[in-house]
Amino acid sequence: APRGRRGSDDAVGRENLNAVFESVEALRVNESTGRVLAEDWGTIDLIVCLGGDGVILHASKLFQGPVPPLLGFHFGSMGFLTNHPPDSMAQSLLQSVGRGKPVHNIKGGVPITLRMRLECTLVKAHNSVRNGGDGTAERSFTVLNEVLVDRGPSPYLSKIEAYDRGQHITTIQADGVMLATATGSTAYSVSAGGSMVHPNVPAILMTPICPHTLSFRPVILPDSVEVELRVADDARCSAWVSFDGKERCELCSGDSVFIRMSQFPVPTVNFADQTGDFISSLRRCLRWNEREEQQPLDEQTMKALRKISARTSDEGNGNGGE
């Protein structure tokens, strides 16, 4: 291009870049909660995440309401949720704005996975409706992976009552229990013995941690449940709750955490497609079902096995012996 034209293009590029930086600097975050202010929801088109799963979780925490699409490049040690390799950054960035190569089985648009989140509210015992309160929430969080209630530093078992819309499900006597999303099923939940669930499955996983009974197995609940985890009134000790591994706080007897599906999922941009990314992460991060393949038998061994099989068959039909 002519020198003048190139200088003009460079000037336009700098103006566009400055406009982007000004938009980023204008993004306001509440210093006490670490969340993007509600009035800024919907002002961002795309979030590029460089790192591991912690970056995705941090972005989810920033946006407790609607979340812009997340484009994750794995620079960390695991990166289960960051499916895009760094050497495909240019291609992935173009794809995320609808200018990349066609994706298999996708016609137009950008392939994404909508990852369900959990809306969690903490209600203290004196505010609970059953104690004559108005049910006012002490704190609220929206989590992408899981909410965990455990015994904390206490040497005693935690005693936690689980309800669905007031109907008693079970009383949990264990080191703890977690409710996880399908996305969180491959995190803490799978380490505690839970199932691995495709992120498109609308489900909530209840996974106990070291339960004091062998019959308490992990269960998968529909996304329509509204679960209450309440520290039993006669529990020997308090419990502790954490949300995606953070915001840890104590629960005393009668305190509850209410968990239900959030209306604001997290959209993540796919590298291949929904199932392809999931299986790829299982293999890359968890070495799922990896083992050396069984080697075939040589021809001589096969002939010997056929003779043994034929002899056995004849004896079974009464054709063998004297």
Q: Which positions are annotated as active-site residues?
A: 53
Instruction: Give buried/exposed letters for 115-134 (b at 16+ CB in 10 A, else e).
Output: bbbbbbbbbbbebbeeeeee
Q: Are 164 and 226 in contact (CB under 8 A)?
A: yes
HSE-CB of 124 using CA atoms within 13 angstroms: 6
3-state secondary structure of 267: strand
As given in the structure block, the two tokens for residue 189 are: 């939940």
Can you tell me the distance from the alpha carbon of 259 to that of 244, in angstroms, rounded to the nearest whole number? Answer: 13
**C-beta neighbour count of 160 within 10 angstroms:** 26
Question: Max Cα separation, the chain?
Answer: 105
